[in-house]
Amino acid sequence: MPSADPGQPCAAVRRGRPRSEAAEQAIFAAVEELMAGGTALSEVTIEGIATAAGVGKATIYRRWPNKEALLVDVVSRLEVPMPEPSGAARDDLIAMIDHVRRRGLAKRTRWVLKAALGQMQTLPELAAAYRERVIKPRREAGLCLIRQAVAEGVIRDDVDLDLLGDLLMGPILYRSILWDDSDLEDPQLARKMVDALLDGLAPR
Amino acid sequence: MPSADPGQPCAAVRRGRPRSEAAEQAIFAAVEELMAGGTALSEVTIEGIATAAGVGKATIYRRWPNKEALLVDVVSRLEVPMPEPSGAARDDLIAMIDHVRRRGLAKRTRWVLKAALGQMQTLPELAAAYRERVIKPRREAGLCLIRQAVAEGVIRDDVDLDLLGDLLMGPILYRSILWDDSDLEDPQLARKMVDALLDGLAPR
Note the ipTM here.
0.83
Q: How many CA atoms lie less than 13 Å away from A41 in the CB half-sphere?
A: 32
Report chain A's mean pLDDT, rounded to a whole number: 86
Q: Quick one: average pLDDT of B153-179?
A: 92
**Closest residue on chain A to B34 (Cα):** A122
Architecture category of domain A22-70 in CATH:
Orthogonal Bundle (1.10)
Cα–Cα distances in angstroms (integers) from residue B199 to residues A105, B155, B171, B202, B203, in the given order: 31, 10, 16, 8, 9
CA distance A122 to chain B (A): 5
Contacts of A121 in chain B (CB under 8 A): 36, 38, 111, 114-115, 180
Residue B173: Cβ within 10 Å count: 21
Residues 6 or more apart from A74 whose CB is under 8 A from it? A28, A31, A32, A35, A112
Specify the pLDDT at position B4.
45
Q: Quick one: average pLDDT of B49-70?
A: 94
Q: Where are the domains of chain B?
A: 22-76, 89-199
Tell me the CATH number of domain B22-76, given options 1.10.10.60, 1.10.3720.10, 3.40.50.880, 3.40.50.920.
1.10.10.60
Cβ atoms of A133 and A72 within 8 Å: the answer is yes
Specify the pLDDT at position A181.
67
Q: Is A2 exposed, middle or buried (0-12, 13-18, 19+ CB in 10 A)?
A: exposed
Superfamily of domain B89-199: Tetracycline Repressor, domain 2 (1.10.357.10)
| Separation CA A66–CA B142 (nearest Å) | 45
% of chain A surpassing 70 pLDDT = 91
**Closest residue on chain A to B171 (Cα):** A170
A62 contact B CB<8A: no
| Separation CA A42–CA B193 (nearest Å) | 37
Residue among B42, B174, B194, B204 with most chain A CBs within 10 A, to mutate: B174
A105 or A3, greater pLDDT: A105
Of A155, A138, A6, A151, nearest to A90 by C-alpha is: A155
Contacts of A154 in chain B (CB under 8 A): 202
Residue B152 banded pLDDT, cuts 50, 70, 90: very high
Residue among B195, B201, B204 with most chain A CBs within 10 A, to mutate: B201
| Separation CA B84–CA B9 (nearest Å) | 10
| Res A151 pLDDT > 90 | yes
| Separation CA A49–CA A30 (nearest Å) | 6
Specify the pLDDT at position B93.
95
B173 contact A CB<8A: yes
Q: Quick one: average pLDDT of B152-163?
A: 95
> Which chain B residues in 63-102 lie under 8 Å from chain A, judged by CB atoms?
none
Contacts of A180 in chain B (CB under 8 A): 120-121, 127
| Separation CA A170–CA B193 (nearest Å) | 12
Residue A81 banded pLDDT, cuts 50, 70, 90: confident
**pLDDT tens column, A110-137:** 778 888 877 777 788 888 888 888 888 8
CA distance B24 to chain A (A): 25
Kindly determine whether residue A180 and residue B114, on different chains, have CB atoms separated by under 8 Å: no
| Angle B130-B46-A124 from CA coordinates, rounded to 5° | 70
Specify the pLDDT at position A18.
46
Specify the pLDDT at position B58.
95
Instruction: List b or e across B119-146, with b for residues whose CB sees 16 or more CB atoms inside 10 angstroms.
Output: bbbbbeebbebbeebbeebbbebbbbbb
Cβ atoms of A134 and B131 within 8 Å: the answer is no
